[in-house]
Amino acid sequence: MVRKAKIADVKTIQLIINEYADQGQMLPRSLNDLYENLRDFSIVEDRDGIAGVCALHISWDGLAEVRSLAVRKEKTGKGIGRSLVSHCLGEAKDLGAERVFVLTYQEAFFTKLGFSPVDKKELPHKIWTDCLNCVKFPNCDETALIITLHRT
């Protein structure tokens, strides 16, 4: 079950995200950044604790970003990532976002969820704020993907 993250979750969220960041698979998140952006985060919790985390960040007019998707290694392949992204897409739709993008190394995963590749140059410059802190900037090797949300 997906729920919004709480203050008590932050240290565990950081551990899960930074495990992937240590392997160069995503940006690390400081405790300060996580506390300041806590409202962006949702988690899946099971009997063992937090199994996965994902954030939805509003980037620009009608544009949101799925970021910091991370599932504990021992919990992968169980639909947790899919549930988190679906939750974020529903939240984006509720907020009035028309499109949601992701910068990722997991292109196949997001393509299965309906995202399509997009040239990074088509995304507003405002989205690159986090990239300034990345060791790979300005030579980003992540793939940009985007999905258009359909109105109901």
Query: Which residues form the domain of 43?
Result: 2-148
Look up the CATH number of the domain holding residue 115. 3.40.630.30
Read off the pLDDT of each residue in 21-43 and give the average, rounded to a whole number. 95
pLDDT of residue 121: 81
Look at residue 134 and tell me whether its pLDDT is greater than 70: no
Are residues 54 and 68 in contact, defined by beta-carbon separation less than 8 angstroms? yes
Is residue 141 pLDDT above 80, yes or no? no
Cβ neighbours for 62, distance < 8 A, ≥ 6 positions apart: 96, 97, 98, 99
Model confidence at 131, pLDDT cuts 50, 70, 90, reads low
Average pLDDT over residues 26-52: 96
Query: What angle (nearest 5°) sits at the alpha carbon of residue 54, between those of residues 117 and 88?
Result: 70
* Number of compact structural domains in the chain: 1
Q: Is residue 81 within 8 Å of residue 43, measured between CB atoms?
A: no
Please report which residue ranges of the chain form alpha helices under DSSP H.
10-21, 31-36, 80-95, 107-112
Whether pLDDT at 52 is above 80: yes
How many Å apart are CA 108 and CA 106, to the nearest integer? 6
72-115 pLDDT tens trace = 999 999 999 999 999 999 999 999 999 999 999 999 999 999 99
Mean pLDDT of 113-141: 72
Instruction: Please name every residue paired with 103 in a beta bridge, in sequence order, or none if there are none.
Output: 144
Task: Give CA separation, 107 vs 29, 47, 49, 89, 103, in Å.
Answer: 21, 30, 28, 17, 9
The mean pLDDT of the chain is 91
- Please say if the pLDDT value at position 129 is more than 70: no
Give this prediction's pTM: 0.90
Q: What is the pLDDT of residue 46?
A: 95
